Structure 1
Amino acid sequence: MKSVGDNIKQSRVALGLSQAAAAKKLNISTPAFCKIETGQTDLNVSRLMQIAKTFKVTVTQLLSGDQKEATSTEEVITLKSELIEKEEEINKLRKKVIDLYDKLGM
C-alpha cells in the first residue's frame, strides 16, 4: 500500500510539476514539500486540502491513491434516477410473480 506522500508525488508528477514548482504553488519551501512526499512530515487536514485543491484531485484520491476521476454530481443524479427506474421495474415483476402464484393456487 502506498503512503499519502507517494500519492501526493504521483499527483504532482501527473501534473508535470517539479518538487520546487509544487512547493511554490503551495507557498512552502522545496525541502518542506520534499518532507511531505517522503512522509517525514505529518500532514494536517488543511494542508492536505490545500494540496488536493492545488493538484486538482480530491482528498480521498490523495489518501487512497485512486487516481480515477471522482464521479460528477451529474453522473450521481443520473445513476440514482436509473436505480429508481430499475427498482420500479423489479416491483412490477414481483407483482406479476405474485399474481401468477395466485392464479396457480399456490
Structure 2
Amino acid sequence: MANTPLNAIGRNIRRLRQKNRWSQATAAEKLDLSIPAFSKIELGITCCTFDRLEQIAELFSVPVMQIISEEGQALAEQQAQEIARLNEVVRAQELEIIRLQDRTISLYEELARDKV
C-alpha cells in the first residue's frame, strides 16, 4: 500500500483507537459509522470530511493536526516525553517546597526557644 496522506490519517486514527483499547466496532459506534466505513477510514481507502475529522479528534481528545499529520505518532510521543519532563520538574519543585517548609518550621522552633 502506498504511503499517502490518507494512509497516514488512517494509521493515526488506528493508533488512537488502539491506545484507547477500543475495537473498530466500538469506535465506529461512537462515531455513528458502520464498521466497514470506519475500517475504510483506518485503511486509508476512504477520505474524511473536515467535519468527520473534527468528530474523530473530539472523540480521542486530540487536535485535528495530530490526526492529519504524518508525524502524528511522533508528535504524540514528543508530547508524552514533554509531560514526563514537566512532571519531573514539578516533583523537584515539590521537594524543594517541602525542604523550605521544614527549614521554616525549624527556624520558628529556634525563635520560640530563644524567647523562653
Q: Taking structure 1 as the reference length, what is the TM-score of the superposition?
A: 0.61
1:67 aligned residue? 76
Task: Structure 2 unaligned segments of length 5 or more: list them.
Answer: 83-116
Identity of aligned residues (%): 44
Q: How many residues align?
A: 71
2:112 aligned residue? none
Greater than 3 Å deviation, 4+ residue runs: none
1:67 alignment partner AA: A
2:66 alignment partner AA: Q
Cα distance in 2 between the residues matched to 1:62 and 1:22? 15
Cα distance in 1 between the residues matched to 2:65 and 2:51? 14
Q: Taking structure 2 as the reference length, what is the TM-score of the superposition?
A: 0.56
1:52 alignment partner AA: A
Cα distance in 1 between the residues matched to 2:47 and 2:68? 13
Cα distance in 2 between the residues matched to 1:12 and 1:57? 12
Which one of 26, 35, 41 corresponds to residue 30 of structure 1?
35
Higher helix proportion: 2
SS at match of 1:42: coil
1:31 alignment partner AA: P
Give the superposition deviation at 1:57: 1.0
1:93 aligned residue? none
1:4 aligned residue? 9
Task: Structure 1 unaligned segments of length 5 or more: list them.
Answer: 72-106
